């Protein structure tokens, strides 16, 4: 299904003043340095298209969660500097997003110039869907362009209210994101494999259920796997679990097993994991083989493996999938033609004490190697989720994947089959 909303290509936009909603919610360290500018770079095609057509562009965005109060650590000033460098063009910066000084800057903006407004979330009206706030922002342009895929599942002023007050179309990034994700879900090249990680089943219940319906292979990792293991009667020690969602896990497992009886379908839970008594780069780690017992047998041979080799201790955490599980998932990737990956397989934030891979990131690294063709076959890949994108971004590997989404929650909702308010509010092509 192709994108059914008007985009900047579908309207006469030459010489117009545009109010653009971008997603510049990027990580900024304590010194004001942007540590990952992927989202800014993804906005460049839309910006260049508008500049090539001599538009004056007023950009509004957010950064972080300042909760309706001004907080300089969430200022977009560093973004203005980085954007200027990326475009090789001056980017003016407004110290607020409303007020007489901002109105003066907007009024003086010439065709082909850019003005970035300060964080819209410095004002509580943004999240309160305030009509007066929407009207103020709508006075800054002739046309509203929505290009912030990362927030189109929200109902804030700059997402779903502004289109009520002005002509509104999509930017090139928004079109690309919706088109790509929708096409993968509706018309994938099969076999389709989904690799789902993250912390909570409850956050991804609809996604899991949809992939059980659509996919040929679903592999589970990350902390959410612990709750599934708990539902299967496997000890998880002090690992992050959701005991209140064990019933939910059992329901998902029952649905998956029912589908497996009707045809070729695999729903895979980790069979081994990396355990430690603390989440620290100095922690002693060990592989616990709670189901496969292959690693335990090999390590103990010619003796029988100890009980401890196949059990997570009461004082231990499961912090990554083990080598058997990561190898099994990698094998599944070799048989797939489309892979959707959302969520790391372990705790990727812990930095290594030795080597280049963190002590709890080996499972995730094997998934990266498999998807990017380092074992031979390279399937089409769609990657989403903040921790996943952050991991491959930090390693400089984004370019090895076919589509790396700029939206976390928005991508999840779109893949789950939900409508996105920020998209629905735009003008239809028909």
Domain ranges of the chain: 17-173, 180-415
Domain 17-173 falls under CATH 2.10.260.10: no
Say if residues 96 and 72 touch (Cβ distance below 8 Å).
Answer: no
The answer to whether the peptide bond before residue 302 is cis (omega within 30 degrees of 0) is yes
Per-residue pLDDT of the chain in tens (430 residues, 90 and over written 9): 578 999 999 999 999 999 999 999 999 998 989 999 999 999 999 999 999 999 999 999 999 999 999 999 999 999 999 999 999 999 999 999 999 999 999 999 999 999 999 999 999 999 988 999 999 999 999 999 999 999 999 889 999 999 999 999 999 999 999 999 999 999 999 999 999 998 888 888 899 999 999 999 999 999 999 999 999 999 999 999 999 999 999 999 999 999 999 989 999 999 999 999 999 999 999 999 998 888 899 989 999 998 888 999 999 999 999 999 999 999 999 999 999 999 999 999 998 888 889 999 999 999 999 999 999 999 999 999 878 998 999 889 999 999 999 988 899 999 999 999 999 999 999 7
Q: Which among 124, 136, 123, 142 is positioned nearest to 13, based on CA atoms?
A: 142
Q: Catalytic residues, which ones?
A: 39, 200, 386, 409
Predicted TM-score (pTM) of the model is: 0.93
Report the DSSP pairing between strands 217-220 and 266-268: parallel
Q: Which pair of tokens denotes residue 93? A: 């910066």
Helix (H), strand (E) at residue 286 = strand 286-288
Q: Do domains 17-173 and 180-415 have the same CATH topology?
A: yes
- Report the C-alpha gap between 279 and 281 in whole angstroms: 7
Annotation: CATH topology of 180-415: Rossmann fold (3.40.50)
CA angle 225, 230, 236 (to 5 degrees): 80
Contacts 24+ apart (CB under 8 A), 287-292: 287/322, 287/323, 288/312, 288/316, 288/318, 288/322, 289/322, 289/324, 290/229, 290/234, 290/235, 291/234, 292/324
């Amino acid at each position: 299904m192709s994108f059914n909303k008007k985009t900047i290509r579908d309207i006469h936009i030459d010489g117009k003043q545009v109010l653009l909603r971008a997603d510049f919610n990027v990580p900024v360290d304590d010194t004001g340095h942007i540590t990952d500018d992927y989202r800014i770079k993804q906005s460049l095609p839309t910006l260049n298209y508008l500049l090539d057509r001599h538009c004056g562009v007023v950009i509004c965005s957010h950064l972080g969660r300042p909760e309706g109060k001004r907080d300089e650590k969430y200022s977009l000033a560093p973004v203005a500097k980085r954007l200027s460098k990326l475009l090789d063009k001056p980017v003016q910066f407004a110290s607020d997003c409303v007020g007489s000084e901002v109105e003066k800057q907007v009024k003086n903006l010439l065709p082909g110039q850019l003005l970035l407004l300060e964080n819209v979330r410095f004002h509580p009206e943004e999240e309160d869907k305030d009509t007066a706030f929407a009207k103020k922002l709508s006075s800054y342009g002739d046309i509203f362009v929505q290009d912030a895929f990362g927030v189109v599942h929200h109902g804030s002023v700059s997402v779903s209210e502004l289109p009520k007050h002005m002509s509104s179309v999509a930017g090139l990034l928004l079109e690309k994101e919706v088109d790509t994700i929708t096409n993968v879900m509706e018309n994938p090249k099969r076999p389709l494999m989904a690799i789902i990680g993250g912390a909570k089943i409850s956050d991804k219940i609809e996604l899991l259920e949809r992939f059980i319906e659509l996919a040929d292979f679903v592999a589970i990792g990350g902390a959410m796997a612990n709750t599934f293991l708990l539902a299967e009667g496997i000890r998880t020690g002090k690992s992050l679990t959701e005991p209140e969602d064990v019933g939910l896990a059992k329901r998902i497992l029952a649905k998956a097993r029912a589908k497996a009886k009707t045809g070729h379908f695999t729903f895979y839970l980790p069979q081994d994991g990396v355990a430690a008594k603390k989440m620290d780069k100095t922690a002693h780690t060990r592989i616990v083989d709670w189901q496969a017992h292959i690693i335990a047998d090999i390590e103990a041979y010619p003796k029988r493996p100890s009980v401890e080799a196949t059990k997570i201790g009461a004082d231990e955490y499961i912090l990554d999938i083990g080598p058997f599980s990561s190898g099994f998932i990698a094998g599944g990737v070799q048989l797939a033609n489309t892979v959707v990956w959302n969520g790391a397989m372990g705790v990727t934030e812990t930095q290594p004490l030795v080597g280049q891979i963190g002590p709890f990131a080996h499972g995730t690294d094997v998934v990266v190697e498999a998807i990017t063709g380092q074992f031979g076959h390279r399937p089409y890949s769609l990657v989403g989720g903040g921790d996943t994108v952050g991991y491959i971004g930090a390693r400089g590997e984004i370019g090895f994947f076919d589509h790396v989404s700029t939206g976390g929650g928005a991508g999840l909702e779109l893949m789950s089959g939900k409508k996105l308010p920020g998209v629905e509010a735009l003008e239809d092509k028909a």
